[in-house]
Amino acid sequence: MKNNINRKKSNIVLIGMPGAGKSTAGVILAKALRLSFCDTDLVIQMRESQTLQQIIDKKGISYFLQIEKEIICSLDLAHHVIATGGSVIYYPESMDHLQERGYIIYLDVDYHVLKERITNMTTRGIAMDSKKTFRDVYNDRVPLYRKYARETIECGKKHVEQIVEQIIFRVTGNN
C-alpha cells in the first residue's frame, strides 16, 4: 500500500453521514492495508474530555464545529485511514487540508438506510440545529460530500467487507 500511494497523499479519508460506517469500515480498512487508524470524533472527545453530545449540549453546535475544524486542520498524519465526523464538510479549509494529504472517499448511504441504523439520534452527537430534521441535514450534506469526494462508494446494504474491498480497489487498483 505504502508504495502505491503518493507520500504526500498517503492517507485515506472517509467522509459521509453519521451511520454510514466510516469508523467500522475504517478500522477494517486500516488493518487490511497495514495503516494506522484515526477517528476524528474520538480525537475531539479526548481533547474536550466529553462526548460529542455533551459538547454540543453544553457549548453549542458552533463551538463543536470550530473545535472539529481546528482538530482537522492540525492533523499531520501520513499512512492513516481517517474516519471523519459527518460535519467535517462544513469548513472548506478542513477539506482542503484533508485533500492535500489524502484520498477522500465518500461512503454514500441512502437516507432510509441511515434512519434504520441510527437508533440514538438524540445522544449520538450529530451536529444539527434543533430546528432541522435528520432529512434536512442529509439533504444539506450530500452535495458537499459529493463535491469533496475523489471517489464515492455506494454502500447501501453492502457488508463492510465489500465496502472495504471496493475502497482498496479504487485507491490501489488491487483487491
> For 101-134, how does the pLDDT look when each residue is reduced to its tens digit (9 = 90+)?
999 999 999 999 998 888 766 666 788 888 888 9
142 falls within a domain: yes
pLDDT digits (tens, 9 = 90+) for 12-35: 999 999 999 999 999 999 999 999
Q: Which domain holds residue 75?
A: 11-165
73 falls within a domain: yes
Q: What pTM was computed for the model? A: 0.92
Report the pLDDT value the prediction gives residue 157, as an integer from 0 to 100.
Answer: 80
Task: Give the CATH number of the domain where residue 140 resides.
Answer: 3.40.50.300
What nine digits make up the cell of 24?
A: 467500522
121 falls within a domain: yes
54 falls within a domain: yes
Mean pLDDT across 153-163 = 91
